[in-house]
Amino acid sequence: MQESRREFAKKAAIVAAGAVAASGTAVLAATGNSSGQDDSNNGVVVGKSRKKEILYKKTAEWEEFYRTAK
């Protein structure tokens, strides 16, 4: 009797885990979001940040660097 209860509990846990995994996959598929990139953005990640990205700030140190690098 005890053996059959353990087998039932094992099978029930496996089925429940499979159902959770399947529902998670279905939710991801329904949202349409994927981690893959398409050709429309040429590999550039486009975000929704409102912050301005500062790539270069003119300083005396950078001017010296560029003067010596030439």
Give the helix ranges, DSSP H, for the chain.
2-31, 60-69
Q: How far from chain centre, in Å, is Cα 44?
A: 15
Q: Can you give the pTM of this predicted structure?
A: 0.30
Instruction: Indicate if the alpha-carbon torsion angle 52, 55, 61, 66 is positive or negative.
Output: negative
Q: How confident is the model at residue 61 (pLDDT cuts 50, 70, 90)?
A: very high
How far is residue 63's CA from residue 69's CA, in Å, rounded to a whole number? 10
Per-residue model confidence as pLDDT tens digits over 14-42: 988 887 776 666 655 666 555 555 667 77
